[in-house]
Amino acid sequence: MKPRSRSVSPNIRVPSLLNSFHSSKKEMHFNFFQRSVRIGYRIPLLGPLLEKKGFRWVSFIILLLFGLTLFQAAITILGSLWENDKLILGTVYRLFFYEKQTYDPVPYLGLDPNVPDKLPNGTTIYHVSKEFGPATLGSMGQIVTGLAQAQANNGTYAVNVILPYYSYLRNLFKTQKFAQLEVQVRDRYGKRHPMKFIVNSFWWNITDNPDVMNSEPPKPYSIRVYVIGPPSRESDSFHSAFKANDVSEIYYSPLRDLPQEWEDIFFCKAVAELITYINTDIDTPLFDLVDTRGVDVVHIHGSSNALVIEFLKSLYLKGKVRMPKPAIVYTLHDYIEEPRYSNAIGMVQKFLDLGNYTEIKPQYFHGRRIYTSAIAIDQAQIVTFVSKLIAQEIIEGSLDFYAKELIMPSIINRAIKGEWIGITNGLDFTGFNPFNNTMLIETNSNFPRNINTFDAALLYAETIENSSQSLIITSKYSAKLHLIREGLLPYEDLNRMIVLFIGKFQYNKGLEFFQAATELLVSQDVLFIIMGQINDYPIDSLQQLVTNYPNNVIIINNIEFQTNWGILYRAAADILFVPSKTESFGLTAAEGLLFGCPIVSTGVGGLKEFLVNKTSSSMKDGYNSYLFNLLDETNIKLSINEMKAALNNSINDLKILNNNLIEKEIFIRDLIKGALRLGWNRPGGPVEMYTRTYRMALLKLRKNIDHVETLLSG
């Protein structure tokens, strides 16, 4: 079937940054060329050539080759300078290439089943994260928010979060000053200077209603959020730390004048100062007259916060705190990006005196950078990963991943002692679900709560048209109808199937499958909505899909628009496309099930923990996905035919269900039931597992089992 010739309606109000992105990208390339040419004018012999218009591109190539020559010379010089060190040239080489290693499989021990799943009343838990609640950009923020809320719902623990004070949060919350603290930072001459900063706090209100099927009024609970502000030294660029116009700028903002690495390291050191301040027994916070019982557990999320551990230990070695030091749990949220997170040694030395650390612990250093994840894995009492299955596969040898050499020795060491624990994430239903979302309620698109009380036999007896029970297919139809009324979909799409992709536009999300997938969807007259944020995948390739198939492809990359309208697209979608090359948990897929969408996916990583493949055409129930094999993640062409078959089968099955709406209603409800079983508070689930992990960490600490020595001093 050829694509229809109609144009996308001019009334469709889906904003896109593509045009501005293209113009800025062209301008950037042009400016780079102009700068290169101007530099060339200053080089003897090239100047006369550059005055001739036809030689400018030739000069650009010459300059490029000249730069590569300088780079090679720099590596050679560095190698000779370090010839007597045992790091030597191999370390420089690993700046770009990691020496491939093989590791013997280690049995996965997991969490000791004899550890109790209770903590003493009033146990204080402090989550350290770059994302939480209103500062959530990706899956880490969703996970930390869901976990903290579920723990607070227990009602017996004091749950807190430490977060950067992103400037846009000032307009969202009324904060109170908690304390004025300071950290020591070295200038270019190595001299220490105090850098003062303010810690504010606010209360994040939650409810204890994780059961979204229950319409009873929820009880309110709160999480105390400490926000660390920028240093107050106006003469230093550090004062621009954490500036952000909105959540999309929490990791990068044009408002900031300092490198992201400095901001990360400052935050780590400031967190350590705050925790030790809270954990003192000699006074109370300056602006807060409530006594504190100290800090029992510090839960660090992500490798950019890993140095908090070293800063904390250095403060305890100096004897600044007389109360018992807290137990530390470190969580790796993925096995692709986090192990490769690093800081330049020169930047770290502004905050830490490394001394001979590079010689004593060379495994943390590659090139002139320090890789922090391995430090946290070695130093924390317990290390966790966000998927039990992947945690097991990592140490038992069935999962290979790039740059694993950076962390595998540390992980194996912890796994042998039973201190490497996989805890599969949960779904947070309190703030994001199709049942009580305000937008869905206002548009009559919210799903009915009768998931567990629904009577299928009664529906057969009454028929769809005369059903006395509220139906999900009606809600999904209403969501699509409202998008059309708002001009966000053309009217022709009312009865068209929607395949939805949600995620960052990056290679490991499988966007290389999109061309083949789009061709199939066009042949089936299906609408493909691509919703996410620009990342490392070429935006030109996605824009070309819109250009080639304007009636079948819509791209939504505006974050504010997604915040306002994204939930309606989720509710209206029929199929969720998750062609990821890697997934630590697969939160997007789990949420897709919650919104009544079967999943077409590779089923890699943590997805295998909850996706059940339809293995044959005769399979009528018990499945929630159509999986295809990722034969080679570096060559997706080998998997395209399987992908197209899985996607085609999902579409054909849905067409059959569209002719039997009772069966479709039952199928969608089964998908949602499966998603509801993935909650944080499920029996034996992540909240219980983390409680036991904290208890195990506290037992290790109090019994002085952990003899890790601190080698860094701040």
Residue 146: which CATH number? 3.40.50.2000
More confident residue, 584 or 31: 584
Mean pLDDT lowest for which of 8-12, 151-155, 181-185, 366-370? 8-12
Same domain, 362 and 222: yes
Is residue 89 included in any domain, yes or no?
A: no
Whether the per-residue pLDDT at 23 is higher than 50: the answer is no
Q: Are the C-beta atoms of residues 420 and 580 closer than 8 Å to each other? A: no
User: Same domain for 325 and 442?
Assistant: no
138 plus 187 within the same structural domain? yes
Give the model's confidence band at 532: pLDDT under 50 very low, under 70 low, under 90 confident, else very high.
Answer: very high
Confidence at residue 1, expressed as pLDDT on a 0 to 100 scale: 45
User: What tokens does 225 get?
Assistant: 């959020």
Domain range for 295? 124-427+688-702
Position 289 pLDDT exceeds 90: no
By three-state DSSP, how is residue 414 classified? helix
455 and 377 in a common domain: no
Domain assignment present for 515: yes
Q: What is the pLDDT of residues 686-698, one digit of tens each?
A: 999 999 999 999 9
The two structure tokens encoding residue 539: 């935006």
Long-range contacts of 681-686 (CB under 8 A, 24+ apart): 681/150, 681/153, 681/210, 681/426, 682/426, 685/424, 685/426, 686/147, 686/150, 686/423, 686/424, 686/425, 686/426
Q: Based on the fold, state whether residues 696 and 667 are members of the same structural domain.
A: no
Q: Do 380 and 481 belong to one domain? A: no
Whether 105 is covered by a domain: the verdict is no
Tell me whether residue 96 is in a domain: no
Return the CA Rg of the chain: 27
Q: Hey, what amino acid is at 509?
A: K
Higher pLDDT, 14 or 182: 182
Residue 82 DSSP SS3: coil
- 444-487, pLDDT tens digit by residue? 999 999 999 999 999 999 999 999 999 999 999 999 999 999 99
- The answer on pLDDT for 323 being more than 90 is no
The domain boundary, picked from 58, 81, 104, lies at: 81
Q: Are residues 160 and 52 in the same domain?
A: no
- Tell me the pLDDT tens digit for each residue of 579-633: 999 898 889 999 999 999 999 999 998 899 999 999 988 888 899 999 999 887 7
Structural domain total, the chain: 3
Please indicate, yes or no, whether residues 631 and 484 belong to a single structural domain of this protein: yes
Task: Give the tens place of pLDDT for each residue, 237-270.
Answer: 778 899 999 998 999 888 888 889 999 999 999 9
pLDDT confidence band for 236 (50 / 70 / 90): low
In a domain, residue 479? The reply is yes
Task: List, for residues 149-194, the tens digit of each pLDDT value.
Answer: 999 988 889 999 999 999 999 999 999 999 999 999 888 888 888 8
- pLDDT in the model for residue 366: 87
Find the mean pLDDT for residues 318-322: 62
Query: Could you tell me if 273 and 325 lie in one domain?
Result: yes
Using the predicted structure, report yes or no on whether residue 430 has a pLDDT greater than 90.
Answer: no
Residue 234 has pLDDT above 90, yes or no: no
Would 636 be classed as within a structural domain? yes
Taking the alpha carbons of 24, 27, 29, 32 in that order, is the dihedral positive or negative? negative
Domain boundary among 81, 110, 138: 81
- Residue 519 to residue 528: CA distance in whole angstroms: 10
List, for residues 44-88, the tens digit of each pLDDT value.
444 444 445 455 555 666 667 666 666 655 544 444 343 333 333
Chosen domain end from 51, 81, 111: 81
| 241 and 335 fall within a common domain | yes
User: Is 284's pLDDT higher than 80?
Assistant: no
Report the alpha-carbon distance of residue 328 to residue 290 in Å, rounded. Answer: 24
- 214 and 141 in one domain? yes
d(CA 16, CA 37): 34
pLDDT at site 258: 83
CA–CA dist 324, 313 (Å, integer): 12
Does 581 reside within a domain?
A: yes
Residue 544: inside a domain: yes
Q: Please check whether residues 483 and 591 belong to one and the same domain.
A: yes
Tell me the pLDDT of the chain averaged across its residues. 83
Question: Alpha carbon of 652 to those of 500, 549, 575, 607: distances in Å?
Answer: 16, 21, 12, 23
Dihedral (Cα; 616, 620, 625, 628), 10-degree rounding: 10
Is residue 532 within 8 A of residue 502, CB to CB? The reply is yes
- The reported pLDDT for the residue numbered 29 is 40
Higher pLDDT, 325 or 214: 325
% of the chain residues with pLDDT over 70: 79
Q: Over 50: is that where the pLDDT of 330 sits?
A: yes
* pLDDT exceeds 90 at position 518: yes
**What pLDDT band is residue 25 in, cutting at 50, 70 and 90?**
very low
Of 195-209, 382-396, 516-530, 645-659, the range with the lowest mean pLDDT is 195-209
Strand 625-627: give its sheet, edge to edge: 553-556, 527-531, 498-502, 575-578, 599-601, 625-627
Question: What's the CA gap between 685 and 111, in Å, rounded?
Answer: 12
Q: Which residue has the higher pLDDT, 704 or 707?
A: 704
pLDDT for 104 = 92
pLDDT value for 265: 96
Percent of the chain with pLDDT over 90: 59
pLDDT at 363 over 70: yes
